[in-house]
Amino acid sequence: MASVETVSFKKIKRKRRTSKADIAFNIFLGVFFALFMIVTLYPIINTLAYSFNDRFDVIENGPVHIFPRARTLENYNYALSNFHFKDGITITAARPDRLPVLPEILHHGHSRGESEGVILRST
């Protein structure tokens, strides 16, 4: 028996036959996931296009699809200069235990009578 160092890769490499069904299935998977990617990413790209577009342009000229027509950063200037937006970001960053699902996840062990778990203090 030959050792690992003396065996060439040509002897180990075997070509696997692909059937017509395998090729058809691979084509189906490629088309399916390409369509899935388009359907998933289009709403995100559309939202970004609306956010970079002028708000009056949308009212006058109709919907924006992928690329904004009247490019502007006015929407972001408005959102970042609004003090309610800044307060919301501050509160969200400072108090992550206020999320509605988090206490249920952390106290799940206590509901089953187990002694281990995280205890949250309410303020």
Does the pTM surpass 0.75? The reply is no
pLDDT digits (tens, 9 = 90+) for 79-120: 888 878 888 878 777 766 665 655 555 555 555 555 454 555
pLDDT digits (tens, 9 = 90+) for 12-45: 666 677 889 999 999 999 999 999 999 999 999 9
Strand partners, 71: 53
3-state secondary structure of 30: helix
The token duo for 99 is: 């999320």
Q: What's the CA dihedral at 104, 107, 110, 115 to 10 degrees?
A: 160
CB neighbours of 105 closer than 8 A, spacing ≥ 6? none
Strand partners, 53: 71
